[in-house]
A and B are shown apart, each in its own frame.
Chain A
């Protein structure tokens, strides 16, 4: 039983790390742009498809395919920000919150259907990073899951270093705290928006590209992870990067352990998604701003 629970906890940790990567991108976008990106799941899906085709059609090694895909989606994010989200900050639209919701929601539907049209409905799988499984004692886990966890940690640490230790990161943090004050201090908020949306999209793509060999690639693959990401950023506290990472790990563990410790074992898997949401409800009842959230975060 102990071994079994250890294995479940390990599985929960791996899933949590993958959640964290995607939710981190959503948090970054929210903290700087103050918008909820409903098309985040589709950027995740595009990251997976680009990585798949780079590896399959152009023979890229899996890790290089992931990195290339991240770069492509970064620039795609930049284009989306300029074309669709810039009007929110230039005063071209009156109802900013509603516009941001509608435009990202529309983009989500468009990209999903575009993928269905361009890539077709057939389910795909990226080549393995390292095929096979690793066994220790009686525990066995697929090598892909281990590699993906390691890469997810690398990407997250890199993101944290960029945000915490670099000049660009300072600029992003300044804009996330107060756009006007940051502008007075000489930071161009438009450039920071561009970088934040690009980087957020790239993180979503990283999640999708890494998940390619573990789960599957299909046009709607982003629908469920984006819901989990919303749960995570609300659980962690809107805009809090630390909260996002901790909430991701909590959600991963809650789902993995919750579904096997559920009183009715035959229904554990059916309530897997509900367990995360239940956790969210409880946290919000006790702490309405989430685990590490600010009191009031809204677009100015």
Chain B
């Protein structure tokens, strides 16, 4: 009898260890991202919206392992120390079984250390610095592209478009410096002349440097702005105001996700016409059967077009739910094993995580992240109607100059 009782206690303890759900039987998934300054809170807010949509849909379909799932979102403010604290709170206080999200690479770099230390799966949704997966931590996965993976394709377009003189203005963040390095290295080998300038992320007036570019002879072919948030929008506006770009002589590429938000037009107006930007999603290209229904639901719920950042945030939550289902528990190691075997039909393709150790950033990275170069051809144009320039196989036309 005593043996039976001990066995029962052991079984219950084992069950308790493998199913860290709270008393109400809710599985908590942590969410991280910037919701206030100095972070890019516009993007953080959009990601949170998408995560909430994913949670609603998962619960609508009966939850996971017979339990409801809940999102506990922490604002990381674009600050690494806040990211660390948020991760610790999510795991230790809220008992989140996994964490998804983040927009800023510098914050994600801090968060992966906590995930590794506390042994909790973390799926980075929208932070691009190579180092995030290059550290090859067991519990860290990423569905956002690595800078090297994505921007080498953008560099291919710059080369193919025939630009000879490129000037770059880069925010001095992990993301900005990482992108600048990839582009510079790729273009240097193609013999393209590059001038690269770094600036504080909080800068508001780019006019002094933009005027310098305008007065330079010859004028640059391409102004490549590696900025996020308000800085990106101000650069677009100010470059147009002084007559630098987009003009017949100088095209302008704005890499930040803000160029995809509908607010882009309120701020830039006429300045936004002919701007080049990148996206990880473009309509009309058949990704999966889930893509269009998701967009319809998102637009209906939030009255705005989702960007690929929203899609990644949505997918990250779904991936956690899928891993828990396949693992049959919320045990971190079982979830990691399940995530490593993921073959999940997401919004932009079938997601899987690479186990390759070379190049370093490829470990636990989704290698299939799509990348597109688009150009706005009209004022107030949704990015989904912009001209698709790259990749070549999907291109709808070539670069238009004003």
Contact = CB atoms under 8 A, between A and B. Distances in A.
Contacts of B202: 223-224, 273
Contacts of A3: 215
A123 B208 contact: no
A11 B44 contact: no
A8 B208 contact: yes
A40 B207 CA distance: 26
A20 to B, nearest CB: 15
A265 interface: yes
Contact of B208 (A121, A142, A259, A266): A259
Interface in A45-59: none
B379 interface: no
A212 to B, nearest CB: 11
A269 B198 contact: yes
Contacts of A173: none
Contact of B35 (A121, A122, A265, A270): A121
A152 B199 CA distance: 27
Interface stretch (B14-22, B258-266, B322-330, B360-368): B258-266
A137 to B, nearest CB: 13
A267 interface: yes
Contact of B242 (A15, A116, A140, A260): A140
B7 interface: no
Given A123-B230, A133-B243, A223-B202, A269 B266 contact: no
A215 B202 CA distance: 12
Nearest to B216: A4
Interface in A243-300: 255-256, 259-260, 265-270, 272-273
Contact of B209 (A7, A122, A269): A269
B81 interface: no
B208 A265 contact: no
Interface in B1-49: 35-38, 41-42, 44-45
B58 interface: no
B36 A116 contact: yes
Given A11-B207, A266-B198, A269-B198, A124 B266 contact: yes
Nearest to B40: A121
Interface string B208-232: 1101100100000000000001100
Interface in A203-238: 215-216, 218-221, 223-224
A223 B263 contact: no
Interface in B171-205: 172, 195-200, 202-205
B42 A122 contact: yes
Interface size class of A (residues with CB under 8 A): 35 or more
Contacts of A256: 207-208
Contacts of A266: 195-198
A259 B209 CA distance: 8
Contacts of A272: 199-200, 203, 208
Contact of B211 (A11, A15, A221, A224): A11
B263 A122 contact: yes
B234 interface: yes
Contacts of A223: 37-38, 202
Nearest to B209: A269
A216 B230 CA distance: 7
Given A268-B209, A269-B203, A121 B44 contact: yes
A145 to B, nearest CB: 8
B231 to A, nearest CB: 9
Contact of A112 (B37, B200, B212, B229): B37
B234 A216 contact: yes
B233 interface: yes
Given A8-B208, A121-B42, A272-B203, A220 B243 contact: no
A4 B212 contact: yes
Q: Which of B42, B205, B206, B269 has the largest number of chain A CB atoms within 10 A?
A: B205
Q: Which of A3, A123, A140, A219 has the largest number of chain B CB atoms within 10 A?
A: A123
Interface string B234-251: 100000011100000000
Q: Which of B35, B169, B215, B261 has the largest number of chain A CB atoms within 10 A?
A: B215
B234 A269 contact: no
Contacts of B41: 116, 121, 219
Contacts of B212: 4, 260, 265
A7 B41 CA distance: 34
Contacts of B355: none
Contacts of A113: 36
A140 B197 contact: no
Nearest to B241: A142
B267 interface: yes
A260 B208 contact: yes
Interface string A1-16: 1011001100100010
Contacts of A273: 200, 202-203
Contacts of A116: 35-37, 41
Given A116-B36, A266-B197, A270-B172, A125 B267 contact: yes
A215 B208 CA distance: 15
A268 B200 CA distance: 11
Contacts of B234: 215-216
A162 B165 CA distance: 54
A71 B371 CA distance: 49
B195 A215 contact: no
Nearest to A227: B202
Given A8-B208, A218-B230, A260-B212, A123 B172 contact: no
B258 A219 contact: no
Interface string B260-283: 010100110100000000000000
A8 B215 CA distance: 12
Interface pairs A-B: 8 shortest CB-CB: A220-B37, A121-B41, A269-B199, A142-B241, A125-B267, A122-B263, A4-B215, A270-B198
5 contacts: A8-B208, A260-B212, A267-B197, A268-B208, A270-B197
